[in-house]
Amino acid sequence: MVATTLHSTSAPSSQPARVGAVLARLALGVGVLCALAALLAGPAYRLGLLTLAPALQTMRWAGTVAIGGALVALLAALLLWSRAGTPRLRALAVLALGLHVVVAAPLLYMYGQLQSLPRIHDISTDTAQPPTFEAVLPLRKDARNPVEYKAGTGDEQRKAYPDVTPLTLPLPPATAFDRAVQTARAMGWDIVAATPDKLRIEATDTTLLFGFKDDVVVRITPQAQGSIVDVRSLSRVGGSDFGANAKRVRTYLKRLADTATMTP
User: For residue range 88-141, what is the model confidence (pLDDT) as tens digits?
Assistant: 888 999 999 999 999 999 888 888 887 888 899 999 999 999 999 999 999 999
Return the domain boundaries, the chain. Answer: 2-116, 122-261
Task: State residue 114's pLDDT score.
Answer: 79
**DSSP strands (E only) in 43-189:** 122-124, 167-169
DSSP bridge pairs for 234: 122, 215
In the CATH scheme, what is the code of domain 122-261? Answer: 3.30.530.50
Three-state secondary structure call for residue 18:
helix
pTM, two decimals, is 0.80
pLDDT in tens, 45-100: 888 898 888 998 998 999 999 999 999 999 999 888 865 557 888 899 999 999 99
